[in-house]
Amino acid sequence: MGKIKSWKAFRPTWPVKSAGLLCTLILAVPLIQAQEDLDVGETGWDVKRPVMASACECGCPWGELGDFVKESLESCGYSVILCRNCNRWYGPGLVSRHDYPPPLDEINLADGVNVRIDARVDFGVTSSAMLHAAYHDKLAGQGPYRNLRLIAKIEDPFYYLVAVKKESGIGDFAHIKERSLPVRIMGNDRNLITILQYYGITADDIAAWGGKTSVAIEEALMGDFDMIAGFLASPAMNPESSWWTALSQKFDLYFLELPEEVLKRMAQQNVDAEFVEVQHGLLRGVDRRIRTLDRSGESVFGRENMPEQAAYDLAKAIDDNHGALKWYIRVYTYDPETVWQNFGVPLHPGAERYYREAGYMKSDR
């Protein structure tokens, strides 16, 4: 349908730090590789050929949700063009500015993405938390993007869990401080820092004891870790969560429970976090119900100047086809009570019209 506009040797010019995309564990590619700029012809809502900020095809959630949206809109006469490297933190900004996709970088190539769409981005999918940050504050240091509008929020639960190797003998974070343990931790983020602070521990303390808080996934898979922690715990085998399944199957893990005060502090710094109980058997080693925090939500979004009928068609197509969500890697669900709200991000009028007609939004909302 399109044609190759240009070929050039790949040289990374955009930030290449991964935001959790782990397809590099699955695919191996050269760091220097040809990049294809694909001219897809005329695009946009007016010709029913919108470009969607999506992600890779190797199980990435925004990639498979891009496929879902593309297939759902076909019955309405739309031909969605998926931008496979408009992922990570790029999507909201690209949509807000109606901008062109970035050059491919080494992470894209590792994900199996070797084609860059040479067209402006019309709408996209991102996490509920990222859409919230992009609209209300900043995302990757840029924004706020006040012209973004929600179309549909799709539920997608994952959990914050902490697990240790049983052989480590660690039964609580307090043991680390009491024994000055040289613990090797994978999952160093603001949530881990909050936990360590509660127990009076710093990363420097752990380093001084001979441990570290920056274990790489590759190291963990080889067994070079004592503790893993993170907010992507799920039995799903998408790249962002698959390491939980891999590590829990390969090693005997004990899952820790966090004090209520720690969970409250973590909830305050994660706008989309909810208090839940992880069910017995979620992963190998989860041998009881564990109270923790859950996050859920991937959001399809556009700009405020998106044609009202297009937003209506998109919201309706997602609803009409939501039964297909059960066939994807993640545990996606469509909830009429939450599909139209995303932490204060305005709903597009076209989408609102559909949800009111469907009876999901009451007249007083």
Write down all domains in the chain, each with its CATH number in brackets: 3-156+297-357 (3.40.190.10), 158-296 (3.40.190.10)
| 179 CB-near residues (< 8 Å, 6+ apart) | none
The per-residue pLDDT for 11 is: 31
* pLDDT tens series, the chain, 365 aa: 444 343 333 333 333 333 333 444 444 344 444 568 999 999 999 999 999 999 999 889 999 999 999 999 999 999 999 999 999 999 999 999 999 999 999 989 888 899 999 999 999 999 999 999 999 999 999 999 999 999 999 999 999 999 999 999 999 999 999 999 999 999 999 999 999 999 999 999 999 999 999 999 999 999 999 999 999 999 999 988 999 999 999 999 999 999 999 999 999 999 889 999 999 999 999 999 999 999 999 999 999 999 999 999 999 999 999 999 999 999 899 999 999 999 999 999 999 999 999 999 986 65
The per-residue pLDDT for 331 is: 85
Q: One-letter amino acid identity for 47?
A: V
Nearest-10 Cα torsion for 46, 48, 51, 53: 110
Global pTM reads 0.87
Helix ranges, 31-145 (H)? 61-74, 90-97, 106-110, 128-136
The per-residue pLDDT for 59 is: 86
Task: Sheet containing 34-39: give its strands across.
Answer: 3-9, 34-39, 115-117
The per-residue pLDDT for 247 is: 97
Let me know: does 230 contact 10? Beta carbons within 8 Å.
no
The per-residue pLDDT for 365 is: 54
